[in-house]
Structure 1
Amino acid sequence: MPRLPSNFVSKKKKKKNGSDDDDDEKKNTNSEDEEEDEDGGYTVVGEDVTDSSASEEEEEEEDAMMMAGGEGAQQKPTKTQQQKQLERPKVWRPPENSQEGASDEMEYDATAYDCLHAFSHEWPSLSFDILRDDMGDARSKFPHAFFMVSGTQADQASKNALSISRVGRLKKTGGGTKTSSRNNNNNREEKKKKKMNSNIDNNSDDSDEDDDSDEDDDSDSETDDFDASNPSKSGKPTLHVSSISHPGGINRVRLMPQNAAICATWSDSGHVLAWDISTAFRSLQNSVEDQKNQNVVNEKKMKIAPKKVHSKHKEEGYALDWSSVSAGRLASGDNTGSIHVWEPTDANVTDWNIDCGYADGHDGKSVEDIQWSPSEATVFASCGGDGGISVWDTRQKPKPAIRVKAAENCDINVMSWNRLANCMIATGLDDGGLKIWDLRHFDPKGKTNPKPVAQFTFHRGHVSSVDWSPFDSAMLLSAASDNTVCVWDLAVERDAEEEAQAMAENESNAEIPDDLPPQLMFVHQGITDPKEAKFHSQIPGLIVSTALDGFHAFKPFNVGPET
């Protein structure tokens, strides 16, 4: 039975790195304690940011709370440790030949994130997609909210669901707090002076009671930053979920770009299904409107029949994508190497004719991913277990127009077609490699094999997701089984003089390892086996990821506009 999410917790714990794991390789690591209701299985966790401006009185109160916390209590960091957390984020990576039994401790660095929140559903999710909403484009002011659809991988087929979620009141949890007045050790005195200068209350005494009242007023503001020293007064993020029963586990889910009420799912039963989720979405909107400050999960999954069930694939698969140019056009690929193209029968996309004749693109190996061209209605690309990339034109079936050998003895797991620079495709490999391709270098006659315009070997596990930024044509997101989600900026080049100057100006800056690509902008950790990661197309810099232990929504301090 679905369970209500718990409140955001304010405890912070260190995550330890075992000797056999390469899971946590950076210091930009977050780990949360999850507080669960006795009835609950949907959880929401918000990362507390320790602020060195907290008063001694508040520190004593927190010490008392920690002492009363029993076995689950964490040792409170000292002021020196708190100040270290507010230093410039450092990059750290364990050596390749770390000794067995060695243990390393890493702490979450609040200054590395403008926003960091976590939440989880009843079952893990392999795939999700973000709904385009009507709350505006290029949103930068906190708090944030967004809608998403995800699919479960339950222990029994009958327990699976297609879940539509609204995540709301995502507060600013770090980054900018280092420049706010809360970081001043004389924060309370500053507030008193401001009250006097603005003549808010000339007759008031400067009591703590007045200050607490002022902080309450601040926390009620929808645009106020997350208050690290008083997280309980900053408002609680919310999670509202509406679910539809789904036959079997969901390998991949994708929303139709032109109509977010229609989505397609790849089931592990071997079927591809198309759904109209508008009923569940309306139910979710009503829940949000009626209970804005409460977490809501529909206890009973909706029983909605799919619009279409396609059973012609011989095996299950993962490749699935809608065309952003031609409404309702869909492509699905399976583990036998077959690709089926769905063509809508009418403008309202009520049904499809499905062409199953695309089968010669990957030598009978699995089709791992599919991407439609962002500019041409009849062109799509696929990658697969043969280590190749195939570019198809639906007017020239059944064979691909172009075939490229992109990897030797290695699967290409995922790909992303750049929607701002249409000639660029990014691929993620099973050996952890990332390769960037320029389609203009592909030879239609197949006489020459192109070389990637860029390639990186940073990940130490298979790459499970790549996604180009919708705001910056040079920015790329990747996720891998080494428990990292990385942000890359391909426009960056190493400048030795600039690095030397930065080191001279600030001794706390970390030395840059020789094997660290200069294009690597950010590494997010604190997750277990991430499966997909996506940029939000309407909130610049906001990233959402799904992993074995749930979802993370975060904004790195150096990605997107300043907040």
Structure 2
Amino acid sequence: MVKRTADEEAAAGPLKAGERPDAMDVDDKHNDMGEFEDEFEDEFESEDEIIEAGVDGRPDAEREAEEAMDVDQAGPGTFIVGRTKLEPGQTLAPDPTTYRMLHNLSTPWPCLSFDIIRDGLGDNRSVYPATMYTVAGTQADSAKASDNSIMVMKFSGLSKMQGDDDEESSDDESDDEDADPILEHKSIPLNTTTNRIRAHQTPSQDPARPPTTLTATMTESTNVFIHDITPHLSSFDTPGTIVTPQQNKPLCTIRAHKSEGYAVDWSPLHAAGKLLTGDNDGLIYVTTRTDGGGFVTDTRAFQGHTSSVEEIQWSPSEASVFASASSDGTIRVWDVRSKARKPALTMQVSDVDVNVMSWSRQTTHLLASGDDAGVWAVWDLRQWKPSAGGSAAAASAAVQRPSPVASFNFHKEQITSVEWHPTDDSIVAVSAGDNTVSLWDLAVELDDEESRDTAGVQDVPPQLLFVHYQNLAKEVHWHPQIPGVLVATGEEFSVFRTISV
């Protein structure tokens, strides 16, 4: 998964909300991972000595004890998850043999929130070099707020790792496997830091025209900006297209919030566009697109959280239901049809801030959450019941503490992102403030033969599939059309696919 190397500079700590990182080196074209050196390249090349278990005449227990000691005393070049601790001045480098694809791409300023845009290149594609489209918001230094922008981006030339023989690859795969990755972008001036950005697409009535792609940007200024980035996306693939200053202006500016916020989500069940936004005062607003193309914000806020709303998500199956996570340690479930604007369910899921949340698209009674203590958990919403009496008011007054389906405290810093695999309801991606992105398989059971093999490694749950190093890891998303591919952001963008997913 990763190998440990020395670095001259001490590793930076994770960003918390409101902190602004320093500027990074600008790479207008691309920033590939470059050449990898495998320091263990020759370790297993010799076939002169092959010793099978038990043939050395020693008792199995004695041999197994020695093997365990060998693991404990692994050399300084090998990082064992759950065992090895990085020393000051050390960082991690990837082991290329564990990746099918791995590229890093830099932007002028860190983009600590982004979204992946669905495109017209096809679903379930496996052609390399890969192409994808994203949108992100920058976090420029506070002294250079005017440098902030929304970046509409096209990543192309994303080739496989050299020597990878992925059996799933298409017969139509391009011969240009060694192409360098390219980052093209169009900038929309913003003049304020982006806290979180999410995209939504409305299908076109004309099959020959692309869908309309909208973005909602929660900002440090307390305003929420809605932009139409359709012309920016089209400009990448239509030579000579110029995006006009008018097209950079927001379609709508939501001014209902009196404090900045981090919670925003578009409904997947309202094609025209229905938006939730939550702020640090604990207030949640709904904004709906009208038949005429404008936007109307209901100024009657949903209230119930006693602290900031950190995450909001619409139900993937019920058009009027949404959930919110808060730094008050609760997750609350709401119905937009409620005249009382109070939660229908309130569950205490943590004793610290609940930073992020993800609703499974495949099994919609499952919800994942991540908190400030580094714990992420899975909840079965069928076990969450309103308080006696059944009224929303009674439910909001009684805070219940449910039991999770699964809970993991592998990460020792705050969870910064959690997302279910788009087609596999057992796979989850998690990013954390310990500069890592981890992949998990909830289908692995403790009594499986395979899990017993990994259970011997201290503090490593058998459900852990993979750990990817990402400096200042902030968000991770699965690509909905390229199976197994993830994009993570932090100090830079990382686009990767592992051999384990």
TM-score (norm: length of structure 2):
0.79
Counterpart position of 2:483:
540
Percent identity (aligned): 37
Candidates 137, 153, 157, aligned match of 2:145: 157
- Provide the alpha-carbon RMSD of the alignment: 3.4
TM-superposed CA distance for 1:257, in Å, is: 3.9
Contact 2:82 2:459 in 1 (8 A): no
Cα distance in 2 for partners of 1:432, 1:18 equals 28
TM-superposed CA distance for 1:315, in Å, is: 0.5
Cα 1:51–1:250, aligned 2, differ >3 Å: closer, same or farther? Answer: closer
Cα 1:442–1:550, aligned 2, differ >3 Å: closer, same or farther? Answer: same
Contact 2:486 2:495 in 1 (8 A): yes
TM-superposed CA distance for 1:141, in Å, is: 2.6
Establish whether residue 110 from structure 1 lines up as the match of residue 96 from structure 2: yes
Cα distance in 2 for partners of 1:222, 1:396 equals 52
Cα distance in 1 for partners of 2:245, 2:27 equals 15
Cα distance in 2 for partners of 1:236, 1:142 equals 12
Specify every segment of 5 or more residues in structure 2 that has no aligned partner in the other structure, as ranges.
15-23, 47-76, 203-210, 388-394
Contact 1:173 1:225 in 2 (8 A): no
Establish whether residue 284 from structure 1 lines up as the match of residue 267 from structure 2: no
Report the 3-state secondary structure (helix = DSSP H, G, I; strand = E; otherwise coil) of the residue aligned with 1:473.
Answer: coil
Candidates 462, 472, 479, aligned match of 2:424: 472
Once the two structures are superposed, the pairs formed by residues 171-190 of structure 1 within 5 Å of their partners are 171-174=159-162, 176=164
Cα distance in 1 for partners of 2:163, 2:440 equals 19
Counterpart position of 2:179:
235
Counterpart position of 1:380:
322
Once the two structures are superposed, the pairs formed by residues 83-232 of structure 1 within 5 Å of their partners are 92-93=80-81, 95=83, 107-155=93-141, 156-174=144-162, 176=164, 223-224=174-175, 226=177
Counterpart position of 1:263:
215
Cα distance in 1 for partners of 2:165, 2:375 equals 36
Contact 1:380 1:393 in 2 (8 A): yes
Cα distance in 2 for partners of 1:176, 1:360 equals 52
Counterpart position of 1:420:
362
Cα 1:105–1:284, aligned 2, differ >3 Å: closer, same or farther? Answer: closer
Report the 3-state secondary structure (helix = DSSP H, G, I; strand = E; otherwise coil) of the residue aligned with 2:337.
Answer: helix
TM-superposed CA distance for 1:174, in Å, is: 4.9
Counterpart position of 1:295:
none
Once the two structures are superposed, the pairs formed by residues 385-396 of structure 1 within 5 Å of their partners are 385-396=327-338
TM-superposed CA distance for 1:239, in Å, is: 1.6
Query: 1:5-53: per-residue Cα shift (whole Å, max 9, x none)?
Result: xxxxxxxx973279986989xxxxxxxxxx97xxx5435222345599x
Amino acid at match of 2:289: P
Query: 1:352-402: per-residue Cα shift (whole Å, max 9, x none)?
Result: 221132342212x10000000101111110010110011010111410111
Cα distance in 1 for partners of 2:468, 2:326 equals 27
Counterpart position of 2:264:
320
Cα distance in 1 for partners of 2:30, 2:376 equals 32
Contact 1:164 1:280 in 2 (8 A): yes
Establish whether residue 362 from structure 1 lines up as the match of residue 292 from structure 2: no
Candidates 278, 282, 289, aligned match of 1:344: 289
Contact 2:231 2:247 in 1 (8 A): no
TM-superposed CA distance for 1:480, in Å, is: 0.5
Report the 3-state secondary structure (helix = DSSP H, G, I; strand = E; otherwise coil) of the residue aligned with 1:176.
Answer: coil
Counterpart position of 1:31:
none
TM-superposed CA distance for 1:262, in Å, is: 1.1
Candidates 30, 35, 44, aligned match of 1:44: 30
Contact 1:269 1:316 in 2 (8 A): yes
Cα distance in 1 for partners of 2:243, 2:107 equals 13
Amino acid at match of 2:475: E
TM-superposed CA distance for 1:83, in Å, is: 6.4
Contact 1:254 1:322 in 2 (8 A): yes
Cα distance in 2 for partners of 1:373, 1:78 equals 48
Contact 1:131 1:260 in 2 (8 A): no
Cα distance in 1 for partners of 2:37, 2:476 equals 29
Cα 1:120–1:417, aligned 2, differ >3 Å: closer, same or farther? Answer: same
Once the two structures are superposed, the pairs formed by residues 28-67 of structure 1 within 5 Å of their partners are 41-42=27-28, 44-48=30-34
Contact 2:12 2:472 in 1 (8 A): no
Establish whether residue 15 from structure 1 lines up as the match of residue 5 from structure 2: yes
Amino acid at match of 1:455: S
TM-superposed CA distance for 1:335, in Å, is: 0.4
Amino acid at match of 1:530: A
TM-score (norm: length of structure 1):
0.70
Higher helix share: 1
Cα distance in 2 for partners of 1:481, 1:301 equals 37
Establish whether residue 272 from structure 1 lines up as the match of residue 262 from structure 2: no
Establish whether residue 437 from structure 1 lines up as the match of residue 427 from structure 2: no
Amino acid at match of 2:174: T
Cα distance in 2 for partners of 1:487, 1:235 equals 27
Cα distance in 2 for partners of 1:523, 1:148 equals 23
Cα distance in 1 for partners of 2:484, 2:496 equals 8
Contact 1:255 1:262 in 2 (8 A): yes
Query: 1:493-528: per-residue Cα shift (whole Å, max 9, x none)?
Result: 13464467x7xxxxxxx8841321111111100x21
Report the 3-state secondary structure (helix = DSSP H, G, I; strand = E; otherwise coil) of the residue aligned with 1:282.
Answer: helix
Contact 1:111 1:174 in 2 (8 A): no
Cα distance in 2 for partners of 1:444, 1:175 equals 55
Counterpart position of 2:458:
514
Report the 3-state secondary structure (helix = DSSP H, G, I; strand = E; otherwise coil) of the residue aligned with 1:45.
Answer: coil
Report the 3-state secondary structure (helix = DSSP H, G, I; strand = E; otherwise coil) of the residue aligned with 1:42.
Answer: coil
Cα distance in 1 for partners of 2:148, 2:90 equals 38
Amino acid at match of 1:147: Y
Cα distance in 2 for partners of 1:286, 1:343 equals 31
Counterpart position of 1:306:
250
Report the 3-state secondary structure (helix = DSSP H, G, I; strand = E; otherwise coil) of the residue aligned with 1:111.
Answer: helix
Cα distance in 2 for partners of 1:466, 1:491 equals 17
Amino acid at match of 1:468: W
Amino acid at match of 1:340: Y
Cα distance in 1 for partners of 2:308, 2:129 equals 42
Counterpart position of 1:203:
none
Contact 1:387 1:412 in 2 (8 A): yes
Cα distance in 1 for partners of 2:496, 2:44 equals 21
Amino acid at match of 1:223: S
Contact 1:17 1:23 in 2 (8 A): no
TM-superposed CA distance for 1:94, in Å, is: 6.3
